[in-house]
């Protein structure tokens, strides 16, 4: 092996494995992140705009409506706080999973991913409990049982429903990541990218809870 | 902004506890029976603080290259601020109400 080949091989060894297949002529990303992670950031930006549009529409309708529904009593607020605590805890367990995968501790990473999924399922169950409680009280997408603005049901069920869809999608995505990671088809970058999505779901809830629950407490 | 010294798991748990305390503060604020405008301002301020901490620490932006932050966040904030274009129409509807 001549000195030039040695230098090239040394450089190839120092960069991330997937770049090896493209050769040394491939320029490194100016963002210094994996392409999956950058793609996830692009998705997060577009999804943040979607949620913002929903929340802005809610604010618009709320200002425009003369009488707005405020159905949430202490039990619903306590349920919301519990849901927030569960989602925040799931973010911490996701961090633990990412850390374990970075340390190549596969069994620990899978365990923490499993705990994150379980917390996601509990969050979804509590969310549905709140929905069924409201439906039991007569609230519908286009009907307000107290006689006020009917838009409360439309905005509440659509915003929280969109968030719930993200949580359920996240749990399903994590299940795929666990499967791929167990079969060694996926590496730590997949766990990290899934973690980024999961933290985003938590981030959205930080706005959904005060705006949809606390602003509508009686 | 970018730093290679990542926090320990104990510090992350501390951040989680801090975020829960902000949520508690939001609930306390709600129980104060403030006007909707004041409550909205307070809740949005606290939620934005929570979001900033979550983005920087949980989503690891603090440990990424600064260019990632400067590419994504100003553009996103610009879009979110321009969504406010629609709001004057909501205030027009407010002034047209029969019940205020």
- Domains by residue range for chain A, with CATH: 1-30 (no CATH), 33-216 (1.20.120.80)
Please tell me the least confidently modeled range out of A107-116, A145-154, B27-36: A145-154
Q: Is the pLDDT of residue A134 over 90?
A: yes
Quick check: B7 contacting A, CB < 8 Å? Answer: no
User: Residue A206 and residue B51: Cβ atoms within 8 Å?
Assistant: yes
- Alpha-carbon distances of A164 from A74, A110, A114, B27, B87, rounded to whole Å: 22, 23, 19, 22, 27
pTM score, whole prediction: 0.87
Q: Is the pLDDT of residue A45 over 80?
A: yes
User: Which chain A residue's Cα is nearest to B94?
Assistant: A64
- Is the separation of the CB atoms in A98 and A197 below 8 Å? no
Domain that holds residue B39: 9-95
With beta carbons under 8 A apart, name residues in chain A contacting B98. Answer: 66
Establish if B22 belongs to a structural domain.
yes
- Is the separation of the CB atoms in A99 and A139 below 8 Å? no
Structure-block tokens of residue A163:
């968030």
A25/B21: higher pLDDT = B21
How many structural domains does chain B have? 1
Please tell me the least confidently modeled range out of A31-35, A125-129, B48-52, B83-87: B83-87
* Residue B4's pLDDT band (cuts 50, 70, 90): low
User: Residue B75 and residue A45: Cβ atoms within 8 Å?
Assistant: yes
- Is the separation of the CB atoms in B46 and B63 below 8 Å? no
For B76, the closest of A48, A202, A209 (CB atoms) is A48
pLDDT of residue B7: 87
d(CA B3, CA B58): 14
pLDDT of residue A139: 92
Q: Is the pLDDT of residue A38 over 60?
A: yes
- Is the separation of the CB atoms in A29 and A35 below 8 Å? yes
Mean pLDDT for the stretch of residues A52-63 = 91
pLDDT of residue A10: 60
**What are phi and psi for residue A72, nearest 5 degrees?**
-90, 115
* Residue linked to tokens 């795929």: A176
Mean pLDDT for the stretch of residues B13-19 = 96
pLDDT of residue A149: 83
pLDDT of residue A1: 59
Structure-block tokens of residue A53:
């549009």
pLDDT of residue B6: 78
**What are phi and psi for residue A142, nearest 5 degrees?**
-125, 25
Q: Is the pLDDT of residue A170 over 90?
A: yes
Establish if B100 belongs to a structural domain.
no
Q: Is the pLDDT of residue A4 over 70?
A: no
Mean pLDDT for the stretch of residues B34-45 = 93
* Residue A34's pLDDT band (cuts 50, 70, 90): confident
d(CA A3, CA A10): 11
User: Which chain B residue's Cα is nearest to A208?
Assistant: B47
- Is the separation of the CB atoms in A77 and A165 below 8 Å? no
Establish if B78 belongs to a structural domain.
yes
pLDDT of residue A19: 56
* Residue linked to tokens 């320029």: A27
ipTM over 0.95: no
- What are the beta bridge partners of residue A72? A217
* Residue linked to tokens 């909707």: B36
Please tell me the least confidently modeled range out of A63-67, B3-7, B90-94: B3-7
* Residue A135's pLDDT band (cuts 50, 70, 90): very high
Closest approach of B54 to chain A, Cα-based (Å):
7
DSSP state of A184: T
Question: What does A24-55 look like in DSSP terms, one character per residue?
Answer: TTSPPPTT-S-HHHHHHHHHHHHHHHHHHHHH
Q: Which positions 140-179 of A are in contact with B (Cβ < 8 Å)?
A: none
For A92, the closest of B13, B39, B93 (CB atoms) is B13
Establish if B4 belongs to a structural domain.
no
d(CA B72, CA A47): 13
pLDDT of residue A2: 59
Q: What share of chain B is helix, strand, coil (3-state, %, to 5)?
A: 80, 0, 20
A163/A13: higher pLDDT = A163
Q: Is B11 exposed, middle or buried (0-12, 13-18, 19+ CB in 10 A)?
A: exposed
Structure-block tokens of residue A144:
């307000």
Closest approach of B15 to chain A, Cα-based (Å):
9
Q: Is the pLDDT of residue A144 over 60?
A: yes
Q: Is the pLDDT of residue A3 over 80?
A: no
Establish if B14 belongs to a structural domain.
yes
Residue A192 half-sphere exposure toward CB, CA atoms < 13 A: 19
Mean pLDDT, chain A, rounded, equals 89
d(CA A103, CA B44): 38
- Is the separation of the CB atoms in A94 and A112 below 8 Å? yes
d(CA B1, CA A186): 30
DSSP state of A209: I
User: Residue A203 and residue B51: Cβ atoms within 8 Å?
Assistant: yes
User: Residue A64 and residue B90: Cβ atoms within 8 Å?
Assistant: yes
- Is the separation of the CB atoms in A100 and A112 below 8 Å? yes
Mean pLDDT, chain B, rounded, equals 88
User: Residue A45 and residue B76: Cβ atoms within 8 Å?
Assistant: yes
Establish if B41 belongs to a structural domain.
yes
Closest approach of B11 to chain A, Cα-based (Å):
11
pLDDT of residue B94: 72
């Amino acid at each position: 092996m001549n000195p030039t080949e040695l230098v090239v091989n040394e450089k190839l060894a120092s960069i991330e494995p997937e770049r090896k297949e493209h050769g040394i002529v491939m320029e490194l990303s100016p963002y210094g992140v994996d392409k999956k992670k950058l793609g996830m950031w692009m998705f997060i930006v577009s999804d943040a705009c979607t949620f913002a549009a929903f929340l802005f529409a809610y604010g618009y309708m709320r200002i425009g409506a003369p009488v707005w529904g405020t159905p949430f009593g202490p039990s619903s607020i306590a349920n919301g706080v519990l849901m927030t605590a569960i989602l925040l805890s799931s973010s911490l367990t996701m961090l633990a999973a990412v850390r374990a995968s970075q340390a190549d501790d596969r069994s620990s990473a899978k365990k923490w991913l499993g705990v994150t999924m379980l917390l996601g399922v509990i969050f979804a169950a509590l969310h549905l409990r709140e929905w069924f409680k409201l439906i039991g009280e007569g609230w519908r997408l286009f009907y307000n049982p107290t006689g006020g603005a009917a838009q409360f049901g439309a905005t509440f069920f659509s915003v929280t429903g969109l968030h719930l869809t993200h949580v359920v999608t996240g749990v399903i995505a994590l299940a795929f990541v666990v499967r791929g990671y167990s079969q060694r088809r996926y590496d730590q970058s997949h766990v990290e990218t899934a973690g980024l999505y999961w933290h985003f779901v938590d981030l959205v809830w930080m706005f959904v809870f005060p705006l949809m629950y606390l602003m509508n407490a009686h | 902004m970018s730093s290679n010294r990542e926090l320990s798991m104990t510090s992350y748990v501390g951040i989680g506890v801090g975020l829960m305390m902000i949520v508690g503060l939001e609930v306390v604020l709600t129980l104060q029976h403030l006007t909707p405008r004041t409550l909205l301002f307070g809740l949005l301020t606290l939620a934005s603080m929570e979001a900033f901490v979550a983005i920087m620490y949980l989503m690891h932006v603090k440990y990424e290259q600064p260019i990632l932050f400067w590419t994504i966040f100003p553009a996103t904030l610009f879009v979110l601020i321009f969504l406010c274009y629609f709001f004057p129409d909501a205030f027009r509807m407010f002034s047209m109400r029969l019940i205020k």
